[in-house]
Amino acid sequence: MITDLSQPGMRSTAEVQRRMSAARKWSVVALLSLGMVVANLDRLNLSIVLALDEFRRAFGVTDLDRGLLNSSFFWVYALMQVPAGWLVDRLGVKYPYAIGFAFWCAVSAATGMAHAIWQIVALRILLGIGEAVVQPSSLRWIRFHFEEKQRGLPISLYLLGTKIGPAIGAPVCVMLIGAFNWRLMFVVLGLGGLIWLVFWLLLARDDDRGIGQSSAERANTAPVTFARVLASPAMWGILIGTFCYNYFWFFCLTWLPAYFVEQKNLSLSSMGTYTMISFVGQGLVLTAAGWLSDRLITLGWDPLKVRKRFIIAGMVLGCTEIIGVVSSSRSIAVFFAVFSLSALGIATANKWALTQTLIPGAAIGRVVGLQNTAANLSGVAAPLITGWLKHRTGGYAAPMHAIWVILLIGIVSYIVLVRREYAPAIHARPS
């Protein structure tokens, strides 16, 4: 039987189904963003605790120990990215993400029971294993549910969770510590995150593998092998640029609260407020930049050039943090700490969307995992290098000079290496 969609009743039914499908799709994007809120709350909470004299005295924490504790999450998290990407490419997004989510929430709650530094390090490593699935799962889901010209906004909304988490995390952690103590703060945040899991299991469908297979058959192209991705100069340019971008981000995620308290003499509550403003600012900018880049591409602009220019602009403006470092004014220093991190948001969503633009035929989970490995190696490096430089120099000037130098390296990498001619070629399937 052939359905006649020319009949008014059939057209309205098809339109209702289309709108319901779109509503469900955007609901899952919202869930992916909320998942990142929870993930980043569970990453940030330790850096807030490390700003407490009570905690540092109880555990005998030095500056070198703080660098160790802040970076320990990223050791295994970075190494697990490609395996996690392979897992979601093979098994789909829904169930691996659900299992990883439940595991890391339990580990986060257990941190409140730690009584030694080695226990906290061990729990942070386990937290990194659980959270490794987040980025490959989320960006793979978006890749197969949105077209190229539409991906900037959903990626922006998803990544908004990386900013909302730290933004609300600082004041929420301070509030919970004030109402209870730092131990109960970990328990409340860890177990409270499990509410998300109910909505994920209800709304997300296990359909990304089927969509990916159908897309490849329609395009009649052979998949880009992971070996060819690794051999591509463009991919290495993306990896270097991603590391450099995220070095600044992870400095802010792990050391910015302490910088505000120790270097700028802000109170704990003021630190929470300015940390929140910094991350909210970046969240607003990245959302606007994602929407605008999609708009320009829809109008016919070249997707690669649009996304690349947004990335470079964001990293250039991120270098303005150095103005606050060389200024003797506390107000100017705090302003540029907030402004530079907010402006970096111009690059955030486009940094991830560019990879899918340049290498569309590869196994997206593994490619995202590879890029996120580079991103989170900076999560290992930034806390350790900052702690070492602060230990050697006694202040934050040297660590913050390192930030703009590393950002400039990233800018050069995008300009020189990230070009269409350096990307792995896509071939037709053999007939």
Residue range 349-372, pLDDT digits in tens: 898 889 888 876 656 778 888 888
Instruction: Say which CATH number the domain at 402 has.
Output: 1.20.1250.20
In a domain, 366, yes or no: yes
Burial class (CB in 10 A: 0-12, 13-18, 19+), 300: exposed
In a domain, 10, yes or no: no
In a domain, 19, yes or no: no
pLDDT score recorded for residue 3: 46
152 in Cβ contact with 349 (< 8 Å): yes
CA–CA gap between residue 409 and residue 176 (Å, rounded):
40
Residue 288 confidence class, pLDDT cut points 50, 70, 90: very high
| Domain range for 267 | 28-422
> What is the C-alpha radius of gyration for the chain, rounded to an integer number of angstroms?
22
Look at residue 7 and give its three-state secondary structure.
coil
* Tokens (6 digits) for 325: 């470092």
- Nearest to 411, CA basis, from 231, 242, 286, 159: 242
409 in Cβ contact with 244 (< 8 Å): yes
For 224, phi then psi, to 5°, come to -80, 120
In a domain, 1, yes or no: no
In a domain, 323, yes or no: yes
pLDDT score recorded for residue 200: 95
Strand-pair partners of 224: 362
Residues whose CB falls within 8 Å of the CB of residue 419, separated by 6 or more in sequence, listed in order: 234, 237
Q: What's the chain's average pLDDT?
A: 84
How much is the pTM?
0.73
* Residue in this structure with the two tokens 């070249």, named with its chain if needed: 302
In a domain, 20, yes or no: no
Higher pLDDT, 418 or 380: 418
Whole-angstrom CA distances from 429 to 92, 221, 361, 421, 425 are 24, 5, 12, 21, 13
Rounded percentage of the chain residues whose pLDDT exceeds 70: 89
| Minimum mean pLDDT range among 119-123, 209-213, 218-222, 398-402 | 218-222
* Tokens (6 digits) for 422: 């350096």
In a domain, 9, yes or no: no
In a domain, 22, yes or no: no
pLDDT score recorded for residue 1: 41
| Total of domains in the chain | 1
